[in-house]
Amino acid sequence: MDSEQTISVIQIFGILRKHIKAIWISTLVVFLASVFATFFVITPKYQATTEILVNRKLSASMQGAQYQQAQADVQMISTYKDIITSPTVLKSVNRATSGYPGSPKSVAKLRNAISISNQQNSQVFSVTVKSADAKTAAVIANKTATVFKKQVVNIMSVHNVSIVSKATPNYSAISPKKKMNLFLGLVIGIGLGIGIAFLRELTDRSVSSESFLTEELGLASLGIVSEIDEKEVKKQISRHQKRDVLVTDDAGDVEPRRRRRV
């Protein structure tokens, strides 16, 4: 069992060594493609986040139910998420920000650019916006929070909405992740090269060694016919032609003597 595993490993390394050129070419091509895509094709994305607190006030006679009200407010955050991503809010935001560079310029794209999250048991939730421009991302996030604060009063009669923190431009792009892309390009290139090497080896039907015939096919070896280079054949013919001897008769005629091999 150990001997078979050793032979298998040796064969694998032999295949890789045989097709090392194809592996290097594949790795280089895929890596350069990832470099080109990362730095020249993929548009950088920036994000900005604003935080909102919705805390409904209770009357003095219901102060004892403050805890229950807080829990209800946490559960209501899912509803607030739906309101923020509704056309009622996003249409106003889109009209106000459509002139900024990198703006989605449509309600559908704007909805995809906005994500809402909150910590467990927290009444504060975050509105995060992604855009091709850092300033535009911050403007859209702040405008979304402002429009939501106005609209939620009419929709749910909730008046105690506070913007905890305004979004500010963050000039560090969140995508593409350059190091990760280059690393993936290198790994994929090596993997593709190894795959090509084994594919070429499996589809190669030529006999490259005597051991393949004797060990793999179980045939008897009768001898080896060496390949002769065409240039070498022509060289040998030319050499023999120079050795042909010409004889001269008494009349001075020159006639070729029968060729002989030396």
Does 245 share its domain with 185? no
Looking at the predicted structure, is the pLDDT value of residue 254 above 60? no
DSSP alpha helix (H) spans, 65-177: 66-75, 77-84, 87-97, 107-113, 134-156
Question: pLDDT of 152-182, one tens digit each?
Answer: 888 887 778 889 999 999 999 999 999 999 9
Question: pLDDT of 87-137, one tens digit each?
Answer: 999 999 999 999 999 999 899 999 999 999 988 777 888 999 999 999 999
Domain annotation covers residue 193: yes
Of residues 122 and 33, the one with the higher pLDDT is 33
Question: pLDDT of 192-231, one tens digit each?
Answer: 999 999 888 888 766 666 666 666 666 666 666 666 777 7
Does 236 share its domain with 152? no
Q: How far apart are the first and last CA of the chain?
A: 58
Does 64 share its domain with 156? yes
Does 76 share its domain with 141? yes
Output b/e per residue, 100-129; b: 16+ Cβ within 10 A: bebbbeebeebbebbebebeeeebbbbbbb
Does 86 share its domain with 156? yes
The number of domains in the chain is 3
Does 160 share its domain with 51? yes
Strand partners, 165: 51
Instruction: Report pLDDT for 3.
Output: 43
Please tell me the pTM assigned to this model.
0.66
Instruction: Report pLDDT for 72.
Output: 66
Does 29 share its domain with 68? no
Does 149 share its domain with 184? no
Structural domain for 158, as ranges: 46-165
Does 218 share its domain with 181? no
